Structure formats: C-alpha cells, structure tokens
A and B are shown apart, each in its own frame.
Chain A
Amino acid sequence: MQTAFRIEELTAGYENNTIFENLNASIEYGKITTIIGPNGCGKSTLLKTIGRILKKEHGHVYLQDQDMQKLSTKDIAKRLAILAQSPSAPPQLKVGELISYGRYPHRKNVNRLTPEDHEMIDWAMEVTQTAEFADRELSQLSGGQRQRVWLAMALAQKTDILLLDEPTTYLDMAHQIEVLKIVQKINKEHGCTIVMVLHEINQAARFSDTILAMKAGEVLANGKPKEIMTAAYLEKIFNIQAKIVDDDGTPVCLSYDTI
C-alpha cells in the first residue's frame, strides 16, 4: 500500500492541553479516508497537525515517505491543501479572486496570473460548478455556494492530497451531499487523496474507502466502512447502541440510542 501519510509517535495539542500522545497511523494514498469520533477526541487536531497548521509537539509525520519537518511550507503547499472548518474572507472579496489565491504556491510573480494559473482556476471552478458566480462577492453567496468556492480554492492549489475539516458544517442536507459528491468526484476522476473529518457517520460510510475512528486521543480502528460500521465498534467509539442495516453494500446506521 502506498501511503499518503505515515504518522509516528505524534504528540500534539493546544497550549497546555495535549490532545493526543504518541499516536501512530497511516493513511492510504489515492483513497478517501474519513476520521470520525466523538467531540474532543482529537480528529480535527490530527487533521490540522498533519496539515502543519498546528505545530506538533513531537513525533513525525511522513508525507509520501518524506519527513514533513524537512519540507518547506511552500513545498508542502504544492502537495497538500487544507480546507479549514469555517474559513473566513472579507465579504467584499470576489469569488474569482479568492479562488485564484489557491495558485499562490505555484506562482513566481505573485502579481500576475499565468495561462497555467488561469487553466487551473477554470478547472477548479468547473469541477465545483462555481464558474457562474466568479464575478460575485462572497457576501452574495449562500452557504452551500460559499463552501464550493472554498473547495475550488483548495483545488486550484493543484495538490495530490486534500484535507477537509468538516466540509459539511452548517450546510443543509442537500448541500452536504452536493459537497461530498464533488469531493468524491475529485477523488475518483482526478485521483486526489482525500482525508476529511465528518460528524455524520452515514456520510462517512457512504463516501469513504477507509474510516479512521478515534476516541480520547487514540486511534480505535482503521478499516473499511463495513468493518468499522458495526454495532460493537459504534458502541466503543460513541457510546451508543446502534442498529446497522445494509443498503446495497453500504452500511447504514438506521437508529441509535444512548446506552
């Protein structure tokens, strides 16, 4: 198996609050991996740490077998893009302008876009269906449209790996699925490795190749949705009693209750 990330003895957290210690895991290249787990289990912290947004305390993260510590932040930006949980930008900013920011790591003259830059921006807008509002200001978009624009910006970065921190937050059901379908398309059609954090386990099961389950700063399980989405595991991870059914090969959590 080719790895996108190999995580060794990783310790990270905020200020005086260590979230996880000596964590080991690996994430497969070319696949969609979703990190799930209860609130505060460290899933977002893990995503931010492997995306070098958060400084690790110690341990190593290998990006395709290269120690990330030895790579410059700009070189990393050519290889992985991160979409933060609730990214912000000035409301007056034009959509096209924001998407073009994604070209930053590839630009030599930052004050002028090359034909290649334009090509990538157009491609990102096409994949995310955002071209029609390229000239609008961010404040004029709905939540779902805005999230697609942010996704387009990350795509314009043209990286092999995309990290998404709860990309469906604050979206209604239809828009959640819309965003996840785009994510799936990016993976299937363009071979982009996806690592994301999701809250909704049914969405995780439907859209992921691998689920990485965390609890209290530890990796509890790492496997195919079918292996993880079992009553036994869900009880361990979330402390719930779940009823799982099979929907055309995809496990679905039909209902659940607290224990």
Chain B
Amino acid sequence: MPKNKENHIWLKATILFVIIFLSFYLHVTNGMFDMTIPDVVKTLFGMGDNPKFSLVIFEFRLPRIVIAILVGVGLAIAGCVLQGITKNDLADPGILGINAGAGAAVSFFMLVFQFNASRSDGSEWLKIMSMPLFGLVGGVLAAGIIFAFAYKHGRLDVERLLLTGIAINSGFGALALYLTLKMSEKDFEIAALWQAGTIYNANWAFIVAMLPWLIILGIYIYRKKYLLDYFQLEESTIVSLGINLEREKIKMLLASVGIVSACVSVSGSIGFIGLMAPHIARQIVGIRHRFVVPFSALIGAALLLLSDFIAKTIFAPSELAVGVVVSIIGIPYFLYLLVKAR
C-alpha cells in the first residue's frame, strides 16, 4: 500500500501555519532597522510607546506582509483552478497571459490617470479601488482573446488554450512595455519595477481594494472545489455525469481571472506561485481538492511571504522585486517539472 497522503492533515496544516508565522516574524522584525520581539508585540497590541515603531509596523511592514499573504493565496488558488481545468500541471496564470493582460490594463491606467500605485500614499481612494477593476478588464480581455482562439467546435481545446496563452502573454507584455515607455522617466522606472512584481510600497488601501475580490471569488472556487476533482476524469465521463462541462469551465476560469487581476493590480505580475503552490500541495495532501485548494493557498502565502522577506533583506538596504526572487526559485522548479514530466 502506498502511504496515504491524506493522513495527518492537521499536522501538515499546522506545520504550514508555523512556516507562515516564522516568515511573518522574520518579516516584521527585520528591515531598515531591526526590532526586538517585545517591541513588535507591544506595538502590535497598541502598548508601544515608540511612535516610530508603530509607524514602521502599521504603515510599512504589516500591509506589506498582509499583501504578500493575500497575493500568495490568490495566485495559488487561481493556479489550482487553471491546472485543474487544463489538466496540465504546468499551467500558471502567468503562462496563460492573464497576468500580462491585467498588467497592460493597469499600465494603461497609470499612464492615463497619471497615477502610480507604487508612489501612492494611499490617499487616492477612488483610484486605488478602481485599479483592480481595470486589471480585471485587462485580465478578462486577455482571457477572452485566449478563449476565442481556443474555442473550437463548441469546446475548449486545452492545447490551443495554452499556446494562445503564451502568444497573448508576449503580446500584452509588449503593449505594457510600450505604454510604460510613454511615461515620464520617473514613472517609467516605478512602473517597470511594478511590472516585475513588487509589493514593497504596500498600504492598507490596496488591501481593501483587493480583499473583496479574493474573498468572494475564493469562496466561490472553494464551494466548487469538487468540480476540480471531476475535471480529473476524461471529458466524456464528465458529460455523462451531467456536468455542464463547458459552462463550468468558463465560470471557474472567470473566477480565477478575477482573482489574478486583483492580485496583479496591487503587486504587478508575479509568476510561478500559481504553478508551484498547487503542485507542492498535491505532493503533500494527494489529489482531492477539498485539501489541495486550501493547502495551495497556505503554501502560496508562505512562498510569497518568504520570497518577499528575501527580496527585502538580501541586498539591503536596496530591494529586489519580489517577482524576481519568485522567478529565481520558480524557474528551476518549472524545469524540474518539465524534466520529470518527460
């Protein structure tokens, strides 16, 4: 008997929570200046008497940590859905061009409204709140184009989906680059950094803007998680069971496009989380999505939080874009999967 991956679920979940907590601890205590644990705890519970500490924690470190966790969760869940629908372990929101579409739309937004998220202090509420919407439009547009090409004879052809995704990805990437080139030199620098995937300028407004998307669509996907189990069968069996395959695929895809767009609009394009997290989750808990989805979310959060900690500290005082750190971890993992798949 192979060992049952579904054993010790709670232990595994606890270990992940501990990893997230440790990353949180590292993240919150390290930075421009280090803080001791008592300082952090005191400040967190409002008992601190050092205004500099509460500024750093509440205005800089905490929003950044929360965003890293949320974006990690979002990308991981979206990755789960995409891998489930395409039956391809190498599917990732980034590879599918959704990131790039949302990215181009947000670049457009930055250019037209002369608003730069990374420079914002969070006072321009309306603009911040409408940014995920713009991202969503771009993401849906990219997804729409991909579907239009991947849809053939009334069904979604997965191979075409992946191939058009790659084409759309570079197309929108080029568009975003063109748009950023139109910006002033200073804006360009920041926009380019944002596109590489960065969350160092996080603030609470971003969190408020993306949270509803993540909660609503996340719950939707979690409630539909059984569909991802059924999607592991081949299509004729799924249809035989009375599942409206094409419609359910599109609904799930749209939900994940929504989540990815919200993530991209606050953090730029961060690849590979959506690829790695579900894959690691399946290694740990098996193939049933009632476990895979929540574990992916936890792993995504842990991965991004750790990566962001590395991005923040490795070349301190200068920062690396977290997207770059994730790619440095992600590319070898991707290659490993490719080699293993052969």
A142 interface residue per 8 A CB criterion: no
Most buried by B among A84, A87, A111, A137: A84
With A55-B154, A93-B287 as known contacts, state yes or no: A77 contacts B240, CB within 8 Å.
Answer: yes
CA distance A19 to B29 in the complex (A): 69
Are the CB atoms of B236 and A82 closer together than 8 Å? Answer: yes
Are the CB atoms of B241 and A105 closer together than 8 Å? Answer: yes
Most buried by B among A52, A53, A76, A78: A53
| Distance in Å: Cβ of A71 to nearest Cβ of chain B | 10
**Interface residue SS majority, chain B:** loop
**What B residues does A82 contact at CB under 8 A?**
236-237, 239-240
**What A residues does B234 contact at CB under 8 A?**
84, 87-88
CA distance A102 to B243 in the complex (A): 11
Contact of B244 among A48, A74, A78, A101 (CB under 8 A): A74
Closest to B227 in A: A110
Q: Scoring A residues 99 to 110 as 1 if CB is less than 8 Å from chain B, else 0, what string do you get?
A: 001101100001
Q: Scoring B residues 1 to 32 as 1 if CB is less than 8 Å from chain A, else 0, what string do you get?
A: 01001000000000000000000000000000
Most buried by A among B233, B242, B244: B242
CA distance A20 to B302 in the complex (A): 56
Q: Which residues of B contact A (CB under 8 A)?
A: 2, 5, 153-154, 226, 229-230, 232-237, 239-244, 286-288, 290
Contact of B153 among A15, A93, A104, A137 (CB under 8 A): A15
Are the CB atoms of B230 and A53 closer together than 8 Å? Answer: no
Are the CB atoms of A101 and B241 closer together than 8 Å? Answer: yes
Among A45-90, those with CB < 8 Å from B are 48, 51-53, 55, 72-78, 81-84, 87-90
Given contacts A72-B244, A84-B237, A87-B234, 11 further A-B contacts (CB under 8 A): A73-B243, A77-B240, A81-B240, A82-B240, A88-B234, A89-B232, A92-B5, A92-B287, A93-B287, A104-B243, A157-B240
**What B residues does A104 contact at CB under 8 A?**
230, 241-243
With A73-B244, A92-B287, A110-B226 as known contacts, state yes or no: A52 contacts B239, CB within 8 Å.
Answer: yes
Q: Scoring A residues 136 to 170 as 1 if CB is less than 8 Å from chain B, else 0, what string do you get?
A: 01000000000000000010010000000000000
**What B residues does A51 contact at CB under 8 A?**
240
Closest to A150 in B: B237
**What B residues does A55 contact at CB under 8 A?**
153-154
